[in-house]
Amino acid sequence: MISIRNLHKKFGDLEVLKGIDLDVQKGQAVVVIGPSGSGKTTFLRCLNILETPSAGTVTIDEQTADFSKPFSKKQVTSFRKQSAMVFQHYNLFPHMTAIENVMEGPVIVQKQNKADARKKAAQLLEKVGLGDKMDFYPFQLSGGQQQRVGIARALALEPKVMLFDEPTSALDPELVGEVLQVMKDLASEGLTMVVVTHEMRFAKGVADEVLFMDGGKIVERGRPEDVFNNPKEARTRQFLNLIE
């Protein structure tokens, strides 16, 4: 479903991604861990061209973005449609209710009929456990509820791939579980997802593959039981010792 080759990203002189290669099969959940500043968020943002990589290719399903060539706006738009991002700070529209937030993408971007979009948005809000909060505004919702709206909003775009950028790191600890549970359910339903997170229990329980990033590279990768119980690289061991 995803194939990444030799992905590089520079901000000015600062090389933040130094050649990333990755394949993700359909239905897999890949979790990216690593120290702050290692390039995890930049990596995720490159996958739907919120950041434009400096070099390399990203293929999602049947579309390939080759960053060694110039790119038209139309190509970017078409490529972006294949994935949807869930952000750390939810990024909901504050002046719209939960259901309006979820409908916005399908109606405005995908030109769906409003009644159909509303019906689907209602189903998605039910799915994330917010059937009774559809007409609430973001300020009337807890952080965990807002993030579940954020997940429903991303799902409404029917992406082939969901990208989660530290979706629980802005939440109070008691609200983390409800968001992780929704993500866990999505993974078990076979959604293809790439998740940047500091939640090691989630990584252990849900990931098909864990990537440990440091200094703009994937230093170690493998099944969670191997990476966590038997890390091969000294840098992975050091990181895991610091956080556990």
Binding site for ligand ADP (CB under 6 A): 11, 14, 16, 34, 36-42
Give the side-chain half-sphere CA count within 13 A for 188.
9
Q: Helix (H, G, I), strand (E, B), or coil: what is residue 106?
A: helix
Cβ proximity to ligand ADP, 127 vs 221, nearer residue: 221
Is residue 159 within 8 A of residue 83, CB to CB? The reply is yes
Q: Quick one: how far is CA 232 from the chain centroid?
A: 26
Spatial distance between the Cα atoms of 30 and 206, rounded to a whole number of angstroms: 9
Cβ proximity to ligand ADP, 156 vs 194, nearer residue: 194
As measured in angstroms, the least distance from the Cβ of 20 to ligand ADP is 12
Please state, as a whole number, how many other Cβ atoms lie within 10 Å of the Cβ of residue 81.
Answer: 18
Spatial distance between the Cα atoms of 30 and 194, rounded to a whole number of angstroms: 5
Return the ∠ at Cα 5 (arms to 8 and 89), rounded to 5°: 60
Cβ proximity to ligand ADP, 34 vs 231, nearer residue: 34
As measured in angstroms, the least distance from the Cβ of 167 to ligand ADP is 13
As measured in angstroms, the least distance from the Cβ of 35 to ligand ADP is 7
As measured in angstroms, the least distance from the Cβ of 110 to ligand ADP is 28
As measured in angstroms, the least distance from the Cβ of 118 to ligand ADP is 35
Cβ proximity to ligand ADP, 36 vs 241, nearer residue: 36
Spatial distance between the Cα atoms of 42 and 57, rounded to a whole number of angstroms: 15
What are the φ and ψ backbone dihedral angles of 160, each rounded to 5 degrees?
-75, -25
Cβ proximity to ligand ADP, 14 vs 242, nearer residue: 14
